[in-house]
Amino acid sequence: MAAQWIWWVMAAVLAGAELFTGTLYLLACAIAFALGGVAAWLGASTDMQLVIAGLLSVIGIVVAHQWRKKKGEPPQQPALDIGQAVQVRTWHPDGTARVEYRGTQWNAELAAIDARRADTMYIVATRGSTLVLSAQRP
């Protein structure tokens, strides 16, 4: 198998793997490998092919990283649990509770220490897997 085909097959594998990650880093490497294959097709030595593919991979990864940093993270979607009613099964003296929500038991805590405790409370926030409750619907 000619060297350019090895480069192009590796580029295709990396491009396919990129479909699972969505980060653009593997795509940058795939483009660099494809250009390494072009260098092989044009008759460059193996060392030159490796230098081209390696250097372009590094440049591509840096460019992809800068682009992602500039683009920023997508805005967070509002939590779908906010405002949902939960049934309190057990209140603990420290203000935490065990609640029934979505067919299972959850740990919960009061949004404010002096908040009124009731059998039916409303989710106002989440902290990890702990629900934050209030007697008032948000």
Residue 80 located in a structural domain: no
> Per residue in 52-65, pLDDT tens?
999 999 999 999 99
Structure tokens at 121: 């409370």
Amino acid at the residue 13: V
Distance CA 36, CA 42 (A): 10
Query: Which pair of structure tokens corresponds to residue 80?
Result: 């779908």
Specify the 3-state DSSP secondary structure of 62.
Answer: helix
Which range of residues forms the domain containing residue 114?
85-134
What pTM does this model have?
Answer: 0.54
Does residue 60 share a domain with residue 89?
no
Question: What CA–CA distances, in Å, run from 11 to 38, 60, 115?
Answer: 11, 14, 59
pLDDT digits (tens, 9 = 90+) for 71-96: 876 666 667 888 888 888 888 888 78
Residue 76 falls within a domain, yes or no?
Answer: no
C-alpha 13 chain-centroid distance? 22
